[in-house]
Amino acid sequence: MQKVNSNKTSDFVLNYGISFKKLFILTSMLLKDKMKISFKANKKQSLVKIISLAILFIVLCAVSNVFYQVAVMLNIFSVLKYIPLTVPSLIMSFLLIFGFFSLLINLTKALYLSKDNQIMITYPCNGSTIFFARLLVYFINEYIRNITIQIPLLIGYMIVMNAPVVMYFYIFIAFIFITLFEVLLASLFSIPTYYIMMFLKRFSLLKTILYVIFYITIISLGVYVVLLIPENIDIFTNWGPYFNSIQAFLKGFSDYFAGLYYLSMFTLGKLDGFSYLIFSFEGLYTFIFLILAILLFFTLALFIINPIYFKLTSSGFEVESKESNRVKVNKKHNFYISQIKKELLLFKDGDSIILSILASFITLPIIILLISKVFGAMGVNTRGFMYSQVIVLAIILLIALNTNTIIATAYSKEGEAFKLNKTYPNKGYFMLTSKLIIPMIIGSLSILVSSIIFNNFFLNDIVSSVFLTLGVILLYIGHMLYSAQVDFSSISSLFNNTGTTSKATRNSTFLAFLLSIVICLLFYLFLTNSGQQPLFAHYIKLFIIGLIYISSSIWIYYYKIKLIYKEGD
């Protein structure tokens, strides 16, 4: 009898036991790969990333503080000089919900679709250790994301509301429980998410249709919300109706989303008028709920998700071998068409550069519509009209050019494929440029729509609108060519080097901001020193600047391609 019990115990430990030593080693390995922080491998890159996160934390604290200071000064959310807790609770809930969906998708990919699973299951440790190493990595990553985004936005509120000093330390502890709850909940939903992803992968047409429906819904919703803005906004003489609408919205949030509202009480304490209660009954109830939920989710993850995870990971070999054994008939296609098709096929991948770029450029016209609607409703004067032109130009340039940072990693993600490109019996110009054609089209269409929207609200000048569109498109494509060549030329000798990828991204981002600032300053000078010149003359100057810039970018781009292919001979 003792022997039977001993065997059951050993089987339980073998299947569900966790080796904390091996867990620490696996977590360290996965964390270095995910966050690209390793002082032994690349001290400079790791230091730059940590400093960047610290700067982001400080900037968001400052932005949040300014926002709440202005809200208090203008009595936007209350007739008293304070901010109701529902305001930071609403922002916190929005970020948590959308962050959870991102966490769920990324965790599902890492658990069941990551290529290194085939290596990890051969390690001398059981599946539970591997499974919880994955979860621990995502817990650390998500906690860092909350520290750098969520917490600074809440700290700005705490500063304005004169929160007790202890709250500035407590908030970091509170988010440990919140993040742990998020990650364990995501692990439970990872199984159905995995099967949904596999179903959509099998029926690619349905996946494409769902993508289209999703983006159309987002666009329609964004446009609908913007069009709700009244034609004339007079907040200084008729603030009452707007204030009542804000109060009704905040009360509706606290009533219908009480759970999220209580979560903010657990995180920030309870603010009632001018009294600040650090620990409230609502916060205590939320804490007890989080503890019980974490224990329940951990148990379900250990005994249900963990075995399924190991089974799905192990069966990945069989699925892959079956797919690879399928006989497919090779057809000869035109070289140029084949290259374009290759990039369209990559659209099926969730990490596709096309998908990332599409998301950015869908938001651009909606933002321009919002700004144009607000400025139009406020009835700006001549100087306001001038400022609105500069602001619109700045936003288009900042979004369009910063999107090219995705291009600065596009070639790096292909790994050793770059070396194979050199052996292909065709010129490398189009092979490398084909990756840019679809992003060029998407970006150019978005810029065109944005220009049309702005023209309808302000310019009412087709010539100015045409040259605005052409000038920005030329700047966008020129910066794209720079981002592309700084990526593939820097890593031609060691293509899969993360350090060079990071350098290319930094250079692309730096030039995007520098170019946007310089162009907007020049355009502002054109407008302020216009004299009797017609409006379209300033946009012609913008077009000429874009033409000069893209000409130099094309020359450098093709020179770099010629250089790296010459080195490969």
Contact 436, 407 (CB under 8 A): yes
pLDDT computed for residue 362 by the predictor: 86
Query: What is the CB-side half-sphere exposure of residue 148 using CA atoms within 13 A?
Result: 14
Q: Work out the burial of residue 500: count CB atoms within 10 Å of its CB; fewer than 13 is exposed, 13-18 middle, 19 or more buried.
A: buried
pLDDT computed for residue 427 by the predictor: 62
**Residue ranges in the chain modelled with pLDDT below 70:** 1-20, 33-46, 117-118, 121-127, 229-239, 272-275, 314-353, 377-380, 414-430, 490-502, 530-531, 565-569
Contact 303, 16 (CB under 8 A): yes
pLDDT computed for residue 554 by the predictor: 92
CA proximity to 298, closest of 188, 146, 193, 139: 188
pLDDT computed for residue 24 by the predictor: 78
Range list of H helices, 233-381 = 240-256, 258-268, 281-300, 306-324, 335-345, 353-378
The two tokens of residue 468 are 């605005």
pLDDT computed for residue 499 by the predictor: 45
pLDDT computed for residue 14 by the predictor: 46
Contact 235, 242 (CB under 8 A): yes
pLDDT computed for residue 493 by the predictor: 43
Calculate the dihedral angle through the C-alpha atoms of 365, 245, 268, 31, rounding to the nearest 10 degrees: -20
> What does pTM read for this prediction?
0.72
pLDDT computed for residue 425 by the predictor: 54
Q: Work out the burial of residue 76: count CB atoms within 10 Å of its CB; fewer than 13 is exposed, 13-18 middle, 19 or more buried.
A: middle
pLDDT computed for residue 296 by the predictor: 95
pLDDT computed for residue 13 by the predictor: 46
